[in-house]
Amino acid sequence: VSWTAEDEAIIATNTDATECKRCAVELGYWKDDYITYFVKHVDRKAPEINRGYYARVRAMEMFIHQFLERCGTKCQIINLGCGFDTLYWRLKDTTHAIGNFIELDFPAVTTKKSHDGEVMFREGDLHSDGYHLVGCDLRCLGEVRRKLAAAGAYARADAPTLVLAECVLVYLRPEAADALVAHLAGAFSRCALLVYEQCNLDDKFGEVMARNLAARGCPPAGARHGGPPAALAAHARALGFEAARAWDMETVWRALPDDDRARADAIEMLDERELLLQLNAHYALTVATRGDIFADMDLNA
Ligand code: SAM
Which tens digits make up the pLDDT trace of 108-125? 999 889 875 555 566 679
Decide: 47 in ligand 1 pocket, CB within 6 A.
no
Give 19-38 pLDDT, tens digit per residue: 999 999 999 999 999 999 99
Indicate whether 222 pLDDT > 70: no
How many CA atoms lie within 13 Å of 185's alpha carbon, on the beta-carbon side?
22
CA of 139 to the centre of ligand 1 (A): 11
How many angstroms separate the CA atoms of 205 and 228, rounded?
14
Contact 58, 260 (CB under 8 A): yes
The pTM assigned to this predicted structure is 0.96
For 139-204, give the DSSP string: T-HHHHHHHHHHTTTGGGTTS-EEEEEES-GGGS-HHHHHHHHHHHHHH-SSEEEEEEEE--TTSH
Question: Does ipTM exceed 0.85?
Answer: yes
Q: Would you state the pLDDT for residue 124?
A: 72
Is the shortest distance between the CB of 177 and ligand 1 below 6 Å?
no
| Ligand 1 contact via 17 beta carbon (within 6 Å) | yes
User: Is 284 within 8 Å of 229 (Cβ atoms)?
Assistant: yes
Over residues 240-258, the pLDDT tens digits come to 999 999 999 999 999 999 9
Q: Is 135 in the pocket of ligand 1 (CB under 6 A)?
A: no
pLDDT tens sequence across 126-154: 999 899 999 999 999 999 999 999 999 99
- What is the end-to-end Cα distance of the chain in Å, rounded? 41
Alpha helix stretches (DSSP H) within the chain: 5-27, 47-71, 87-92, 107-113, 141-150, 174-187, 204-215, 229-238, 249-255, 258-267, 273-281
Give the model confidence (pLDDT) of 94-109 as tens digits.
Answer: 877 799 999 999 999 9
Atom of ligand 1 nearest to the CA of 56: 4
- Torsion sign, CA atoms 48, 52, 58, 59: positive
CB burial string 233-244: b at 16+ within 10 A, e below: bebbeebbbebb
What does the alpha-carbon distance between residue 152 and residue 145 come to, in Å, rounded to a whole number? Answer: 11
Instruction: Give me Rg for the CA atoms of the chain.
Output: 18
| Whole-number pLDDT of residue 81 | 98
What is the arithmetic mean of pLDDT over 51-77?
95
Mean model confidence pLDDT for the chain: 92
* Ligand 1 neighbourhood includes 180 CB (under 6 angstroms): no
Residue 228 pLDDT more than 70? Answer: yes
Instruction: Choose among 128, 169, 184: nearest CA to 151.
Output: 128
Task: Give the span between the Cα atoms of 275 and 281, in whole angstroms.
Answer: 10
User: In the structure, what pLDDT confidence band is assigned to residue 225 with cuts at 50, 70 and 90?
Assistant: low
